[in-house]
């Protein structure tokens, strides 16, 4: 494969972009992909870009393997406050609530705000206090704007569980395609890969819906780890922690204890 890329590099140039490296945690494919990236980086006419989150220890490890081989690390930043404010105004949203502006600096949050606004033009964004609030309102907007909102929510949480446990994060929907799937596509929550194979538009959405459902079922960390792969659990547990912290002191305490008890 490196030879093929190398040859393409010599006959007009080739750009290799590897996205979502952080999603793989400690799997062997991280080494395969970082090896591919470093091998290609020395080939004439070949440009290499690797995209990854970099906060967690395992992410930093993969990144340092690349920077150690001469890769330059650049950062993708949230929007500036001024840009977020401007975009909120463009969406017709009052940007006087600075908390909303701060939340909207994250593009995924901005997209959720836009989706809520799209479905409910009179939605009052001034009530939003933090990111969890926004995502909660997003779920409520989903419920309120759909005649069978509960059915939709059940479908999306089921899809999230399937996607998290599938090998590549995709899910295969049944034929005939249920109404819920069609509506979830319309909301931009899932996107079609091929034929009947779908994927959550953003992994964070998938994790949130699973975490939301898990907190509705009062699951604790050991329960979660028995349902899903360990390497996919980190962001989900963080969402659950934040949801419990907001909703119930007792469940939050139990959750923290459970988190300390698991390996």
Partner 1 sequence: MGRVEGVNTTKDAINRWSPSYVLLVGIAAGFPDNKAALGDVLVSSLVVDYELQKISDDPTWWDKLLRRQPKSRENYRFQPYNADTRLLQAAQNFITVNWTARITTPRPVSGKPTARFGPMATGDKVVARRALVDSLLRGWPKLIGLEMEAGGVASACFQSPKRPGSFMVRGVSDLADNNKGTDSVEQWRAYAAEVAATYAISLLSSGPLPIEAAASEFKRHTDHALQNPRLQIPGLQKSIRRNEIEEVEDQLGLGMSVVLTGEAGTGKTGIGQMLATAARSAGKEVLLLDARLVEHVNDEAQLRNTF
| Site residues (CB under 8 A) for partner 1, limited to 168-207 | 168-169, 188, 191, 193-194, 201-204
42 vs 253, beta carbon nearer partner 1 = 42
Between residue 4 and residue 33, which ones bind partner 1 under the rule CB under 8 A? 4-5, 7-8, 11-21, 23-24, 27-30, 32-33
Dihedral of alpha carbons 22, 25, 27, 32, sign: positive
Shortest Cβ distance from residue 251 to partner 1 (Å)? 25
Structure token pair of residue 94? 């009052």
Least separation in angstroms between residue 90's CB and partner 1 is: 6
Which one of 41, 120, 145, 248 is in contact with partner 1 (CB under 8 A)?
41
Long-range contacts, stretch 87-95, CB < 8 angstroms, 24+ apart: 88/113, 91/117, 92/117, 92/121, 93/117, 93/125, 94/125, 94/126
Quote the least distance from Cβ 230 to partner 1, whole Å: 14
Neighbours of 191 (CB within 10 A): 12
By beta-carbon proximity to partner 1, the closer residue of 91 and 256 is: 91
Among 57, 167, 250, 263, binds partner 1 (CB under 8 A): 167
Determine contact, residues 201/190, Cβ cutoff 8 Å: yes
CA separation for the pair 168, 164 (Å, rounded): 8
* CB 99 within 8 Å of CB 129: yes
DSSP 192: E
Taking the complex as a whole, the smallest distance from the CB of residue 97 to partner 1 amounts, in Å, to 18
How many angstroms separate the Cα of 249 from the Cα of each of 127, 152, 239, 254, 261?
22, 29, 15, 9, 18
Give the span between the Cα atoms of 258 and 95, in whole angstroms.
40
**Which positions from 89 through 128 interact with partner 1, judged by CB under 8 A?**
90-92, 106-111, 114-115, 117-118
Q: Shortest approach of partner 1 to residue 257 CB, angstroms?
A: 27
Q: Which of residues 49-78 bind partner 1 (CB under 8 A)?
A: 49-55, 59, 63, 66-67, 70-78
Nearer to partner 1, 50 or 220 (CB): 50
């Amino acid at each position: 494969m490196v030879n093929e890329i190398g040859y393409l590099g010599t006959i007009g140039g080739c750009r290799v972009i590897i996205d979502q490296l952080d999603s793989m945690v400690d799997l062997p494919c991280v080494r395969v992909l970082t090896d591919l990236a470093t091998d290609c980086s020395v080939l004439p006419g070949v440009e290499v870009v690797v995209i990854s989150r970099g906060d967690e220890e395992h992410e930093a490890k993969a990144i340092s393997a690349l920077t150690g081989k001469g890769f330059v690390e650049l950062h993708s930043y949230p929007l500036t406050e001024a840009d977020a404010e401007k975009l909120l105004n463009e969406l017709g949203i009052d940007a006087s609530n600075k908390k909303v502006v701060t939340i909207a600096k994250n593009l995924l949050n901005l997209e959720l705000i836009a989706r809520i606004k799209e479905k409910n033009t009179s939605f009052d964004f001034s009530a939003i206090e933090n990111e969890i609030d926004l995502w909660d309102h997003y779920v409520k907007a989903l419920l309120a704007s759909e005649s069978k909102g509960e059915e939709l929510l059940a479908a999306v949480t089921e899809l999230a569980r399937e996607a998290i446990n599938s090998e590549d994060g995709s899910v295969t929907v049944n034929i005939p395609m249920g109404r819920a799937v069609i509506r979830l596509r319309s909301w931009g929550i899932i996107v079609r890969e091929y034929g009947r194979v779908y994927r959550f538009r953003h992994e964070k959405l998938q994790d949130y819906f699973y975490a939301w459902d898990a907190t509705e079922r009062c699951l604790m960390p050991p329960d979660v780890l028995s349902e899903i792969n360990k390497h996919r659990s980190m962001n989900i547990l963080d969402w659950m922690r934040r949801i419990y912290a907001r909703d119930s002191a007792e469940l939050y305490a139990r959750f923290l204890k459970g988190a300390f008890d698991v390996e």
